[in-house]
């Protein structure tokens, strides 16, 4: 895994609108598939030190440092099945829990 980070969380605001807007953009089935692919990447190539990120604009996925996300969001623990949605265009993030 490449340790360089293109995700500057300090520049991002917290959002509650990314997930509904992502569903509007790609549809519910494709949105759920994108989350599943992010979680699959975490299972295949991640560790307890990483968490999956779903990139809003491209439907791409990546892994980021979980400690940085915990520090920025203010959570003491991130559960398995959590995905961070990231929008570089509007510099926003939203944390999702897959159910």
Which pLDDT does position 43 carry in this prediction? 94
For the segment 8-38, what is each residue's pLDDT rounded down to a tens digit? 777 888 899 999 999 999 999 999 999 999 9
Q: Is residue 2 part of a domain?
A: no
Q: Is residue 83 part of a domain?
A: yes
Q: Is residue 36 part of a domain?
A: yes
Q: Is residue 4 part of a domain?
A: no
Sheet arrangement for strand 50-55: 13-14, 92-97, 82-87, 50-55, 60-65
Q: Is the pLDDT of residue 48 over 80?
A: yes
Q: Is residue 22 part of a domain?
A: yes
Q: Is the pLDDT of residue 1 over 60?
A: no
Q: Which residue has the higher pLDDT, 94 or 76?
A: 94
Of all residues in the chain, the percent with pLDDT exceeding 90 is 61
Q: Is the pLDDT of residue 2 over 90?
A: no
For residue 84, what are the domain limits? 9-97
Number of domains in the chain: 1
The secondary structure of 20-43 as a DSSP string is: HHHHHHH-HHHHHHHHHHHHHHHH
Q: Is residue 16 part of a domain?
A: yes
Task: Kindly report the average pLDDT of the chain as a whole number.
Answer: 87
């Amino acid at each position: 895994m490449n340790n360089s980070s293109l995700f500057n969380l300090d520049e991002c605001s917290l959002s509650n609108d990314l997930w509904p807007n992502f569903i509007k953009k790609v549809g519910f089935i494709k949105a759920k598939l994108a989350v599943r692919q992010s979680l699959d990447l975490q299972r295949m190539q991640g560790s307890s030190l990483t968490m999956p990120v779903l990139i809003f604009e491209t439907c791409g996925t990546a892994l980021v440092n979980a400690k940085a996300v915990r520090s920025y969001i203010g959570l003491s623990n991130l559960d398995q099945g959590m995905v961070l949605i990231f929008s570089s265009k509007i510099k926003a993030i939203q944390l999702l829990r897959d159910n």
